[in-house]
Copies of this chain bind each other. A is one copy, B any other.
């Protein structure tokens, strides 16, 4: 377990390289660095990411109905977003990790339309949306980036609709694992092993399945030699077979 995404155990050892990679996308300042800004422009961009916030495991970053003021760029930690129906059924709509943005759901109504909950201790950058908009007017490259972030979320959710509408349990779980591992890999973690930050029930909610089905499907994959599972630890033994299982393009 050298390379794995065990934040608590290895958080102190991941000091420079890993951390830089993991956070390379995590706020707009770092993000715009490779876009050729000068020092002064960088300072301006810093205005929108000056404030940081710690969120303890289990705590809500925001809740459905909260007034919308800011987007949040995740620096460290892991979140879920979920919506609830009137009669209490809950649907996890996404899992977000370092470098990803939460809060886009609030723009349209000026209040949030889902809950964001930390699945482990986390740190976020608070980006007041009026600042984002103001600076977007000044820096076209930032404006385009904000648009891309929103468009990416729309495309991701299109893929989720395909998954929930058309795919069988095995396909869904395969696509889910591949997507997770791919995103972790882009942050410098292993391609073949990961620690799940969520329960079987949360995975089930996300994939439109019950927790028992998730458990059974994990066991099936394990028996077939496709993965090795032990509690939250998952190692991918046969990525090709996993890819074959899901004909969905998890490209984004």
A150: chain B residues at CB < 8 Å are 104, 107, 147, 150-151, 154
Within 8 A of B (CB), among A237-252: 247-249, 252
Cross-chain contact B247 with A87 (CB below 8 angstroms):
yes
Besides A105-B158, A164-B208, 12 more A-B contacts (Cβ < 8 Å) are A83-B158, A83-B162, A106-B151, A107-B148, A107-B150, A107-B151, A108-B152, A109-B252, A133-B140, A147-B150, A150-B154, A164-B164
Known contacts being A93-B158, A161-B93, is A208 close to B252, with CB within 8 Å? Answer: no
Cross-chain contact A105 with B154 (CB below 8 angstroms):
yes
Bound Cα distance from A149 to B104, whole angstroms? 11
Interface size class of A (residues with CB under 8 A): 35 or more
Bound Cα distance from A91 to B249, whole angstroms? 13
Known contacts being A86-B247, A151-B104, is A160 close to B162, with CB within 8 Å? Answer: no
In the complex, whether A224 has a CB less than 8 A from a CB of chain B is: no
Within 8 A of B (CB), among A146-193: 146-155, 157-162, 164-167
A91: which of B86, B107, B161, B207 is its contact (CB, 8 Å)? B161
Cross-chain contact B140 with A108 (CB below 8 angstroms):
no
In the complex, whether A89 has a CB less than 8 A from a CB of chain B is: yes
Cross-chain contact B247 with A148 (CB below 8 angstroms):
no
In the complex, whether A76 has a CB less than 8 A from a CB of chain B is: no
In the complex, whether A24 has a CB less than 8 A from a CB of chain B is: no
In the complex, whether A216 has a CB less than 8 A from a CB of chain B is: no
Interface flags for A187-230 (1: CB within 8 Å of B; 0: not) read 00000000000000000011110000000000000000000000
A113: which of B104, B108, B137, B158 is its contact (CB, 8 Å)? B158
Known contacts being A107-B148, A150-B154, is A165 close to B86, with CB within 8 Å? Answer: no
Interface residues of A (CB under 8 A from B): 83, 85-87, 89, 91, 93, 104-109, 113-114, 133, 136-138, 140, 143-144, 146-155, 157-162, 164-167, 205-208, 247-249, 252
A137: chain B residues at CB < 8 Å are 136-138, 140, 143
Bound Cα distance from A42 to B105, whole angstroms? 30
Known contacts being A87-B247, A107-B148, A108-B252, is A157 close to B154, with CB within 8 Å? Answer: yes
Cross-chain contact B114 with A158 (CB below 8 angstroms):
yes
Of the A-B pairs whose beta carbons lie under 8 Å apart in the complex, a sample of 14, sorted by A's number, is: A83-B161, A91-B158, A91-B166, A93-B161, A93-B162, A104-B154, A105-B154, A107-B148, A108-B252, A109-B155, A136-B136, A150-B151, A157-B158, A164-B165
